[in-house]
Amino acid sequence: EVQLLESGGGLVQPGGSLRLSCAASGFTFSSYAMSWVRQAPGKGLEWVSTISDSGGNTYYADSVKGRFSISRDNSKNTLYLQMNSLRVEDTAVYYCAKGGGRPDYWGQGTLVTVSS
Amino acid sequence: DIVMTQTPLSSPVTLGQPASISCRSSQSLVHSDGNTYLSWLQQRPGQPPRLLIYKISNRFSGVPDRFSGSGAGTDFTLKISRVEAEDVGVYYCMQSTQFPHTFGQGTKLEIK
């Protein structure tokens, strides 16, 4: 059974940093691209970032480019999202999803709140 | 960026009746590899999104056959043949043909 478990969310002040993690199990992690998607309170889905299976290629939404960094550790079956220079508008539930072109499994999400 | 536009944004439906959601993209979603990376996702209240349909018309594992997808190029449709109570939620189309990947605004399906 595929499982994705996000962690690392919380309350942070504007300008602060957080690192999200997504622990994967139930599939060959190193064979799949992985993505982060977020959802602001009461709003729709917004794609944030995707990383290739090897980690050699990364892609970002313009809204986070230069501030967020996606990475993975295939030996630990874990996906990361390093978030720096956080803004109030980054407040959202962050989901990790298996796949890039076909996001077929999603975690339960972790809430990031950016507020002073 | 490719803009995804869904209609309607809200759809009250009677149980047992069909429902249809349209999704239009601002440019063709045909990838250079010949595939069209258009997916449909369902988000039930308080739940994460769930993949229903990928590459226009392929039902994902475990998805009931009352869900079907169709379309080509820039116009796509999700159909539910007979709405059940568990289908309540928000439905999103998503394109992953080109970065940045983009979603439609979401269509809220509710029971009349």
- Cα torsion through A68, A37, A29, B93, rounded to 10: -140
The pLDDT assigned to A100 comes to 85
Regions of chain B where pLDDT drops below 50: none
Q: How far is B64 from A107, CA to CA, in rounded Å?
A: 21
The pLDDT assigned to B45 comes to 96
CB contact under 8 A, A103 and B39: yes
Question: B74 - beta bridge partners?
Answer: none
Non-local CB neighbours of A42 within 8 Å, separated by 6+ positions: none
Q: β-pairing, B10-13 with B107-111? A: parallel
**Residue at token pair 């796949």:** A99
Write the pLDDT tens digit of every residue in A3-57. 999 999 999 999 999 999 999 999 999 999 999 999 999 999 999 999 999 999 9
Which residues in chain B have their CB less than 8 angstroms from residue A102's CB?
37, 39, 51, 54-55, 96
CB B29 within 8 A of CB B36: yes
CB contact under 8 A, A103 and B99: no
A86 alpha-carbon distance from chain centroid: 14
Closest chain A residue to B59 measured between Cα atoms?
A104
Sequence length of chain A is 116
CB contact under 8 A, B101 and A105: no
CB B43 within 8 A of CB B92: yes
The pLDDT assigned to A101 comes to 84
Write the pLDDT tens digit of every residue in B2-32. 999 999 999 999 999 999 999 999 999 999 9
> How many other C-beta atoms lie within 10 A of the C-beta of residue A34?
25
Q: Give the helix ranges, DSSP H, for B1-112.
A: none
Q: How far is B33 from A45, CA to CA, in rounded Å?
A: 26
Q: Which of residues 22-51 of B touch A (CB under 8 A)?
A: 35, 37, 39, 41, 43, 48-51
Mean pLDDT of the residues in chain B: 97
Q: Which residue of B21, B36, B96, B97 is the best one to mutate when testing the A interface, meaning the one whose CB has the most A CBs within 10 A?
A: B96
Q: How far is B4 from B22, CA to CA, in rounded Å?
A: 10
Which residues in chain A have their CB less than 8 angstroms from residue B101's CB?
35, 47, 50, 100
Write the pLDDT tens digit of every residue in A62-116. 999 999 999 999 999 999 999 999 999 999 999 999 998 889 999 999 999 999 9
Listing DSSP states for A15-84 in one string gives T--EEEEEEEESS-GGGS-EEEEEE-TT--EEEEEEE-SSS--EEE-TTTTTTEEEEEETTTTEEEEEE-
The pLDDT assigned to B97 comes to 97
Non-local CB neighbours of B33 within 8 Å, separated by 6+ positions: none
Q: Is A9 helix (H, G, I), strand (E, B) or coil?
A: coil
Question: A3 - beta bridge partners?
Answer: A25
